Structure 1
């Protein structure tokens, strides 16, 4: 159930939407950085084993 937002409904809902978009962006950036770091670590470990 959504509370009554009155005359500020547009501003409040757009703030919620902006927050959700920013949070999703942070999750995506974090996942990409994690994959990149994991690949770099695997490359280092592989080079260590081959050497």
Structure 2
């Protein structure tokens, strides 16, 4: 493996990992927002409504 190939593979792998983390965070956020909406519709509120 040449140096250029090594650098390309390293950057590509990093991009895939960061993209996966970003996708995971986005999907998790959607899930949390849906859960909060469901709880609020059920009448459950947050405690600290200052």
- TM-score, length basis structure 1: 0.79
CA RMSD of aligned residues (A): 1.2
Larger Rg: 1
Following superposition, the deviation at residue 15 of structure 1 comes to 0.1
1:15 aligns with 2:10: yes
**Structure having the larger proportion of residues in helix:** 1
Alignment deviations for residues 11-45 of structure 1 (CA, whole Å, 9 cap, x no partner):
01100000000011001000000000000000000
Report 1 or 2 for greater relative contact order, CA contacts < 8 Å, sequence distance ≥ 6. Answer: 1
Unaligned runs of 5+ in 2: 45-50
